[in-house]
Copies of this chain bind each other. A is one copy, B any other.
Amino acid sequence: MENPKSDFSQWYNEIIELAELTDKRYPIKGMNVWMPYGFSLMRNIDETIRRRFYQDEFKEVMFPALISREMFEVEFEHIKGFEKELYWITKGGKESLEDDLAMRPTSEAAIYPMFKLWIRDHADLPMRIFQIVQVWRYETKHTRPFIRSRDIHFIECHTAHETFEDAESQMEIYRREWKEFTDALCIPYMEVERPEWDKFPGAMYTRAFDTVIPSGRTLQIGTIHQYGQNFSKNYDVKFADEKGEAQFVHQTTFGISERLVADIISIHGDNKGLILPPSVAPYQVVIVSIPGKEETVESFALDVKKNLETMGIRVILDSRNNYTPGYKYNYWEMKGVPLRIEIGEREVKENKVTVATRTGKKKEPLPVADLNKINDLLDSVSEELMSRSNNILKDALEGKVLGDIEDAVRTPILCYDEACARKMEEKLSLFMMGHIMNIGKEGKCEVCGKDGRTSLFSRPY
């Protein structure tokens, strides 16, 4: 396998196929099949997010996949932002439909007509819902599994609040959620305020979570949006305040997509294949049993497996005897399992196991009595992944060459004028992604000298 840094595209295409994450041979272009291993990874991510949202008093719902033209075409910039990407259903059976139906590209137009019915009174607020669904976008750009597809796994939060300040506090909650959540995936990010001309259609402002992957390009993996009253005024979502007066609600959203999987693959992978963060890996531990003359190896391995399962660890035992241990080591390394346990006759005799982490170079013995140290070893893999991915981001921000692209990421200080951004875009031949809010500093604009802040210029996917 190639080193991901030398030819990223080839490496990426090869590993998603080899590791059986997805099958892109599905007969419709840009729509791929989630294979069991890939889907398990996505589901673990979903469950991690779901748990956190439940804790923050979000309620889970599921809206229909279709939105009528009438619901969509509330006169408003939102529809214009999606016009070119909508799949339109015009026929049911052999009949033409009276009202064309669009497949949701995101669910504002589906949800807010119901918010209008659900929200009556300040006691109904804050309202916080989320759903984990597929969305569909008729992408005309080059598609690529998990990065840009036409049938997209999507997690979306929608909230409504009495005041702008309440909505801003919700944005803070999203930020905290995102930090803790991406920490679990060992992925560092930039929080970037998208410029006016690139914010979500209809939003007051958009903060995107951008990452740099080893191709040298940036990948947006999540966004939070402050809608203010833009949507509520268009969808007529009002509540009676304490004086009984009708007010429009303030709204926010949080969108997270399957691009997280792309990030995990790209940022953590190496020339042996995937490396999956222990928090979401389908299997956190693989036990490779090495059959000998005695039959005790298999039952010993099964005991170790049960032991780990009792500890809540996701574990698989590979006892295939038509493959050599070496083949199996390579196979599970390629699949990105964070920790491998080897069990042969010697281990059985000495009542221990041999342990190797996917990020380390050494093998170590571990007495069976100390199996609970597996959790520490998994933590050490997470720490190592976080440290490596922090370095990738740091290198990118320092302008070092990533992948095969020179000048991939630049971070000049810029003011807030479009003119200066456009000049810099031309100079760098990169796109202005916005000002970086969680990294960088205030300073004077490199173009005009006015007050500004560190900004991100890159080639985004």
| In the bound complex, CA of A327 to CA of B108 (Å) | 35
Stretch at the interface among A55-63, A160-168, A390-398: A55-63
The residues of B that contact A60 with a CB separation of less than 8 Å are 36, 39-40, 43
| In the bound complex, CA of A31 to CA of B101 (Å) | 12
CB distance from A87 to the nearest CB of B (A): 5
| In the bound complex, CA of A26 to CA of B65 (Å) | 11
Interface residue A113 (Cβ < 8 Å from any Cβ of B): yes
The residues of B that contact A87 with a CB separation of less than 8 Å are 66, 89, 91-92, 101
Interface residue A176 (Cβ < 8 Å from any Cβ of B): no
B84–A103 CB distance below 8 A: no
| In the bound complex, CA of A190 to CA of B246 (Å) | 54
Chain B, residue nearest A63 (CB) = B33
Interface residue A134 (Cβ < 8 Å from any Cβ of B): yes
Interface residue A25 (Cβ < 8 Å from any Cβ of B): yes
Per-residue CB contact flags for chain A residues 355-381 toward chain B (1 = under 8 Å, else 0) read 000000000000000000000000000
Q: From known contacts A34-B62, A36-B129, infer whether A89 and B92 are also in contact, taking CB-CB under 8 Å.
A: no
Other-chain residue from B32, B66, B92, B113 in contact with A64 (beta carbon distance below 8 A): B32
6 contacts between A and B (CB under 8 A): A27-B113, A36-B129, A83-B93, A87-B92, A88-B92, A93-B140
Chain B, residue nearest A33 (CB) = B63
The residues of B that contact A138 with a CB separation of less than 8 Å are 92-93
| In the bound complex, CA of A33 to CA of B62 (Å) | 6
Interface residue A198 (Cβ < 8 Å from any Cβ of B): no
Copies in the complex: 2
| In the bound complex, CA of A36 to CA of B101 (Å) | 25
B101–A28 CB distance below 8 A: yes
| In the bound complex, CA of A389 to CA of B166 (Å) | 48
Interface residue A383 (Cβ < 8 Å from any Cβ of B): no
The residues of B that contact A70 with a CB separation of less than 8 Å are 27
Interface residues of A, Cβ cutoff 8 Å to B: 23, 25-28, 31-36, 39-40, 43, 59-68, 70-71, 83-94, 101, 103, 110, 113-114, 117-118, 129, 134, 136, 138, 140, 151, 153
Chain B, residue nearest A71 (CB) = B27
Other-chain residue from B26, B27, B91, B114 in contact with A25 (beta carbon distance below 8 A): B114
The residues of B that contact A31 with a CB separation of less than 8 Å are 64, 66
Other-chain residue from B26, B65, B83, B85 in contact with A136 (beta carbon distance below 8 A): B65
The residues of B that contact A40 with a CB separation of less than 8 Å are 60
| In the bound complex, CA of A93 to CA of B87 (Å) | 6
11 further interface pairs, Cβ-Cβ under 8 Å (given A26-B114, A33-B61): A23-B118, A25-B117, A26-B113, A27-B68, A33-B114, A34-B63, A65-B136, A66-B151, A88-B90, A88-B91, A89-B90
The residues of B that contact A140 with a CB separation of less than 8 Å are 93
| In the bound complex, CA of A83 to CA of B101 (Å) | 19
Chain B, residue nearest A149 (CB) = B64
| In the bound complex, CA of A339 to CA of B71 (Å) | 42
| In the bound complex, CA of A114 to CA of B25 (Å) | 8
